[in-house]
Structure 1
Amino acid sequence: MSRLLPVEDAQARLLALRDPLPPENIAFSESLGRYLSHDIVAKRDQPAAPLSAMDGYAIRFADLPGPWTIAGEIPVGAAPAHPLAAGSAMRIFTGAMLPDGADTVVIQEDVAADGARLTLTGDGPAAHGAHIRARGSDFIAGAPLLPAGTRLHPGAIAAAIMGGAAQLGVGARPRVAILTTGDELVQPGRALAPGQIPDSNGTMLAAMLAGEPALVSLPLHIRDDREILARVLKDLARRHDVIVTVGGASVGDHDHVRGALDDAGGTIDFWKIAMRPGKPLIAGTIGDALLLGLPGNPSSAFVTATLLLIPLVRHLAGARDPLPQVRQAALAVSLGPGGQRRDYLRARLDGGLLTPFDGQDSGRTFPLAAANALVIRAIGAAPRDAGEPASYIDIA
């Protein structure tokens, strides 16, 4: 029997088949969820000048405990009209620039104003420099803000804008085609004849990619016909970066993905992985397109998409760390020994405890609805008791 490829080797070989797509410049409003193609370095100090962190009055610390003469007001977004003289105070608001000569802010709750006279009524600032945001206290010009490959979330976008970026360079979105195969499959919502089942995998995979930076075509379905499949693969390869087939990846009489890939002029890079579910997975190329042939059972398709399809899409889109993050949590129940393939067990993480489901058959769909984690059980792993740690992948 041929040696099954370890999961890590399969992931590495798949990502090595193609470099990330060329970058493109986009507006900030389009950048959420995209991956930076270059480092973001600050072009300015933030703050660019000392600012007040509170509403109150700018003073000289040496003039405490007052009283002071109120010498004006500094609105947010405007430069102070003049320096602060000794014995004077200027009304100031949160985020406003301090005038030259001021080194402390006394908050408005600690003082009382009577005309132009300001007196201390509370404890006052505890130290020189109180309630001031120093220039460059957030970051300074030239400081690295975001490394290439960062996925842009709202906070990262804000940091890039505050650092002075005018637009963002990001990896292009890979074009992904999803193709389900099988005579037994019927489009969702249509009547079923005996022996037929609804085609859930295409919609499931499209939903899994909905939050990723990808351009996903509506799922297609074709019957079990090698000639038709080869023709469709050849056509899709001209217009897509990734083709995902679902079903037909095993060795049955009606499993045509390998043969159709060959007929279409493609090549196989690897086939079969030491994992459960998901062993009969195919990876190859057709021209410039990548082909990922997933197993047809729903759980197998879901698990292999989590471990290989989503990382591939993220890699092509420019991600620095495209693989799913492995976490640790305690088991709520005991876990039996591992077998000859690495297991990815559908499980529920609740209250910090992992509970793998009893039914792990790859044809079962219902556990996917309740699962929010995949518990990882290594090849040949020893049994573990409740309370012991286990590795898992978050799929919530």
Structure 2
Amino acid sequence: MHPETTPLDSARADLLNAITPRSAHENVPLHASIGRFAASDIISTVNLPATANAAVDGYAIDAETLAANPDHLFPIAGQARAGHPFTGTIAKDEAVEIYTGAVMPDGVNAVAMHEDCTRHDNHVRFDKMLQIGANNRPVGENLAVGEIILSAGTRIHAPMIGQLAAAGHKTVDVQNKLTATMLSTGDEIIDVMAADNGTGFGQIYDANRPMLMAALAGEALNLHDGGIVADDRDALANAYQAALVHSDIVISSGGASDGIEDHTQAAMKMVGAECALWRLAMKPGRPMAVGRVEDKFIFCLPGNPVAAFVCAKLLIMPLLDKLAGGIARTPLRVTVPAGFSHKKKPGRAEYLRATLQGSGKDQQIQIHGRRGAGVISSLTGADGLVEIPLDNAGVEVGMPLAFLPFVERGL
């Protein structure tokens, strides 16, 4: 490992330990809580379901009566449907025609599926024996009074919205959103959205700022576009200072190396930022820096788009989770055999863009696209990243490796 680099896991752990989460919170309508972090434990005050109900369409009876009289022809006392419960009286030797979701009437304790029954006018015979509780959803099967629906710091996603709605929650207390400013640096880049956006000789369109703002659009953030800053130490320091006035975090890309036009280290010092991280033992992404100004952070990403994207996903996003008062996410890792060989020296972890090929026991990881840190097309068709560990000395076909799927390839 390079003597001045820090392994990703160590850097992430150190920075997470150094973060004091924001505590301010607000109450928002349920639909507006998607992607936000629960500000406190949410405890159920109801049972779901509130009453025992049928899990299938069929006929409800007393299972013990059927066991004692398997050939009995049960008179049908009435019908129960979801939202239309049966309110009459049922004798031990009677049945109720019942539909999925209907409240189980008093006097019955099991439901036979209609295909396991033979109906004769207003009577029904059962072709199979039933256990007490068969096809019967008990009270509180989904959620019980006093049970935690969401723990504090949990990121709220769509199924959680459904569970909260089912439990009667119109609003949710969530952590306040962080405010972030995104900017790019470089004399060679121009804004693709600018009115006069033609590229001159030696110029390129800025890909990082639009890409990273899109990547963070679904996060618990209020995002500000800081534009493009020239390759100038004072200009960058001024941009940082202005952004810190209204932002919890500032994210810049470019200018994080050691070249004569790389000014992030000097600019951070000028705004009073303490260097919390400089250089990661990973590829792509080694020239990554993090500065801290009191309780605010400056993240200086590499200029190469793939490196910027990978560092944002693997380092910045977990830190934003904790800073916002949430539980820091851990990327899903699935161990899959390599379907490729790769030369590598120990000392740096590598994150290559990859796809999953085949299925079942024949599934393998394959490298996707060209491998340069500036090749955005290697991201666009990839299923995720393959992680080649820090101490790995080369990959051979069949070697088990961690595959980290992109969220776009999940459900």
TM-score, normalised relative to structure 1: 0.90
Give the aligned residue type for 2:74. Answer: W
Partner of 1:92: 98
Task: Answer yes or no: is 1:136 the counterpart of 2:140.
Answer: yes
Give the aligned residue type for 1:361. Answer: G
Pick aligned residue for 1:296 from 276, 298, 303:
303
CA 383–74 in structure 1, closer or farther in 2 if over 3 Å, else same: same
Give the aligned residue type for 1:172. Answer: N
- Distance in 2 (CA, whole Å) between partners of 1:90 and 1:24 is 49
CA 373–108 in structure 1, closer or farther in 2 if over 3 Å, else same: closer
Give the aligned residue type for 2:123. Answer: L
Contact 1:175-1:215 within 8 A present in 2 as well: yes
Choose 163-172 or 51-60, whichever is displaced more. Answer: 163-172
Contact 2:75-2:124 within 8 A present in 1 as well: no
Give the aligned residue type for 1:289. Answer: K
How far off its partner does 1:280 sit? Answer: 1.5
Task: Answer yes or no: is 1:281 the counterpart of 2:288.
Answer: yes
Choose 128-137 or 355-364, whichever is displaced more. Answer: 355-364
Task: Answer yes or no: is 1:381 the counterpart of 2:392.
Answer: yes
Partner of 2:77: 71
Aligned residues: 393
Task: Answer yes or no: is 1:158 the counterpart of 2:162.
Answer: yes
How far off its partner does 1:344 sit? Answer: 1.6
**1:368 alignment partner, SS class:** helix
How far off its partner does 1:78 sit? Answer: 4.6
Give the aligned residue type for 1:136. Answer: G
Pick aligned residue for 2:380 from 349, 369, 379:
369
Task: Answer yes or no: is 1:11 the counterpart of 2:18.
Answer: no
Where does the alignment leave 5 or more consecutive residues of structure 1 unmatched?
Answer: none
Partner of 1:354: 365
Cα deviation code 1:186-209 (max 9, x no counterpart): 112621111111111101111211
Give the aligned residue type for 2:27. Answer: N
How far off its partner does 1:101 sit? Answer: 1.3
Choose 72-81 or 327-336, whichever is displaced more. Answer: 72-81
Partner of 1:239: 246
- Distance in 1 (CA, whole Å) between partners of 2:44 and 2:141 is 13
Choose 236-245 or 314-323, whichever is displaced more. Answer: 314-323
- Distance in 2 (CA, whole Å) between partners of 1:91 and 1:380 is 66
Task: Answer yes or no: is 1:260 the counterpart of 2:260.
Answer: no
- Distance in 1 (CA, whole Å) between partners of 2:133 and 2:333 is 45
Partner of 2:88: 82
Contact 1:173-1:316 within 8 A present in 2 as well: no
Cα deviation code 1:247-269 (max 9, x no counterpart): 11122222122222222232222
How far off its partner does 1:287 sit? Answer: 4.5
- Distance in 1 (CA, whole Å) between partners of 2:303 and 2:309 is 10
Partner of 1:119: 124
Give the aligned residue type for 1:141. Answer: V
How far off its partner does 1:68 sit? Answer: 3.4
How far off its partner does 1:164 sit? Answer: 4.6
- Distance in 1 (CA, whole Å) between partners of 2:11 and 2:398 is 32
Partner of 2:59: 57
- Distance in 2 (CA, whole Å) between partners of 1:132 and 1:202 is 54
- Distance in 2 (CA, whole Å) between partners of 1:337 and 1:297 is 21
Partner of 1:21: 22
How far off its partner does 1:219 sit? Answer: 4.9
Task: Answer yes or no: is 1:213 the counterpart of 2:217.
Answer: no
How far off its partner does 1:386 sit? Answer: 0.7
Choose 138-147 or 229-238, whichever is displaced more. Answer: 138-147
Choose 93-102 or 163-172, whichever is displaced more. Answer: 163-172
Contact 2:49-2:142 within 8 A present in 1 as well: yes
CA 161–252 in structure 1, closer or farther in 2 if over 3 Å, else same: same
Cα deviation code 1:304-324 (max 9, x no counterpart): 112112222222333324232
Pick aligned residue for 2:150 from 140, 146, 156:
146
Contact 2:154-2:326 within 8 A present in 1 as well: yes
How large is the Cα RMSD of the aligned pairs?
2.4
Contact 2:306-2:379 within 8 A present in 1 as well: yes
How far off its partner does 1:392 sit? Answer: 2.9
Give the aligned residue type for 1:4. Answer: T
Choose 269-278 or 88-97, whichever is displaced more. Answer: 88-97
Partner of 1:171: 175
